[in-house]
Structure 1
Amino acid sequence: MGGVGKTTLLKKINIETTHGFNVVIWVVVSKEVNVGRIKNELGKRLGLIREEDTNQVEIRASEIHNALSKMKFMLLLDDIWQRLDLELVGIPRPSNESKVVFMTRFENVCYEMKAEKKVKVECLGWKEAWDLFRENVGEEALNSCGDIPGRAEPIAKECGGLPLMLITIGRAMASKKTPEEWENAKTALRSSPSDISGTETEVFFRLKFSYDSIRDDIIKSCFLYCSLFPEEYDISKEDLIDYWIGEGFLDEWDEDFDSAHNKGHDLIGTLKSACLLESASDEKTEVKMHDVIRDLALWISSECGKKKNKFLVKAGVGLSEALAIERWTEANRISLMQNEIKEITETPNCPDLLTLMLQKNWSLEKITNDFFSIHASSKSVGSAK
């Protein structure tokens, strides 16, 4: 996952790992691979070209290969988005206890580059997350009022253990010294996280790279659809695929039910590989979204904050009444699932509505008679299973 601390970990290795190696080299590969730049970075660190010559001279891969073959090296490759041909840039297959360590957001890249060992960098546990949050808020703000620590913990928990989010939100709260400001931040983080200072630029734009790297619009639509479910919700894979089929995301396989489900499972695998979905409590049958990734999906679905109601999602938040009908007007997809709504008595005007999710409102007993007829011109109305 973006922001989980992969680059920070490599930086720590770069600083602290010197014993036993002739050279430790750090190179940022980045999304758009520039082989010439990578070779020149290696050549500069190996003393094969001078700093001032790196823009005028492109070193040959064979020169780098010859130099590295004679030494015990550790090479740290940061931010790899696709398979990098190591030979193309002159990196020999490690021997003599040399090491090549690389960071990527995509599990399939590990396989394509034949990694001998894979380490998934996980989000922080609660103690480490709380310590990191406190460090960035600062004791002055936390101790400015006795009511603040009790409000700070729920805010830290909303960050889901993601270091990038903990740091960003922590810094944003460093100047907040009244209980009211902290209570407001808690509400904002749950309803519209992008409104908190730094979250949009420091968190969402950086996480969005994983989404942008997916070239298939169908997979993107399937990802965004998962944000309709509540936070921390274990989504049945089979149910999710059925929803995708109902939405028309898998139209190409309409005539073959088994093929459509197989494709659905393949899409789930792709999203998991990109760390946009993760395994739930039952790894074989369920998936879920990390809270921050779900916030990202809702932010993207609102066209990056420009249209607040494109996806109208209030799932699993304890509503006893449906949202005001006027809020439905511009929505494409609405999810009010897993609440305590008892009745819907008004008829909304929502001509662009594609999906409506009302399932698991166990007390829902009444919906106005003309509620569904008003959607006759809409493309589809989602399951109320």
Structure 2
Amino acid sequence: MAEPQLWPFGGAGNVYWQLEWLTDVLQASAGLAHHRQLRDHPRVRVGFDGLATGGDRRWLENLLERNGGRSWRVPLPGVGFVLAAPLPVGAGSAPGATAGTFIRTGAQAALVSDDPRTAEAVGVGDVLPAGVVLSAPTISPHGAGTRVLPVFAGRLGGAPVIARFTGDAAPWRVEFDLEDPLPITADAGAALYRNWPVLELPVDWSTDPDWQPQRELQGVDYGTAKPVVSDLLGQSRPVIRRHCTAANGAEVMQLLGLLWALAGRAMPVWVHTQAQDLVLSGSAGATATTVDVQWAGLGIGPRPPGRRDLRIALQDGSVLYRRVTAVSSPNAGAERLALDAALGVPVSPADVRQISWMALCTQSADVVRINWWRHDVAEVALSFQAVPHEH
């Protein structure tokens, strides 16, 4: 059987991956939730677009007509690397930084440029830090700037619509559903608090993060009397949204490792509000189990679960995680927080960069979209919702 057709048109324009996990969530009407991961790997859909003119446009349409319903060899946009130098015909290696590219020994890679007729699939004999050793010489020349991308099997997610921009130019968009799992290792990071990981991914402030104290409200309205509304949990389940941008290969791998660890809604993670929720009003020693903060109304009424766990970020880059066990008011302008453990280091107001509340959350949905600005810059919008849990 002949090898599947290589998709020769490089990803451009709006390049994205859509990751789809599947989580079984069992939640009592007013109690704890159980999250069970049903897929070992997410389903991955990749999309990208371009503009084809002249012979390239005719070739694009012929390829789709002939091969549309079959499996393709898909050069995966978003990762890979760019050739550091031109490759002549018969080259036995491709130079470039290979860390985090998903290019694997024994698999295939593709050399893709702006000219689809020069696209070439090559076997990978070995992957070195500074380049890829090919299992056979190249059959075409490739200029500097050509992208070297890992190849995965995939099928079109649907028949693309080819618009007639002119009689001989056509913008196109394709989506491929990958048939192979991506070689990504789940890694939620080293920070742990109360046996669960803590989200310490930097926030992209080009889009404001937000916090919403959502509640499980159920209403009954027969139209003839006052509506009845029940608060099923009796507490809020805050939703925290933020954008994150990975700006180099190492950050991209950190972001992907986190997404694979969270597995959609499957795994909880501590998420802080990204806000200056409390302001330290006095110094505390290393053995202190209480801290004084400026008055914030914590001692008025019962304290909800979302106001029990603190992230204390210090100016030197270190972070402390502590649970608040009680609140008292030493004077009208301050509140005293009792902590579950000593601080471990002396802390003054000048030492503190931010004190934020944390909530144990899962992602709000099993579907996550990653937008790629280039092969080592990726952006994702994350949405988390607090989960009821025992204290």
> TM-score, normalised to structure 2's length?
0.27
**Which structure shows the bigger proportion of residues in strand conformation?**
2
| Larger RCO, structure (CA 8 Å, separation 6 or more) | 2
> TM-score, normalised to structure 1's length?
0.27
Larger Rg: 2
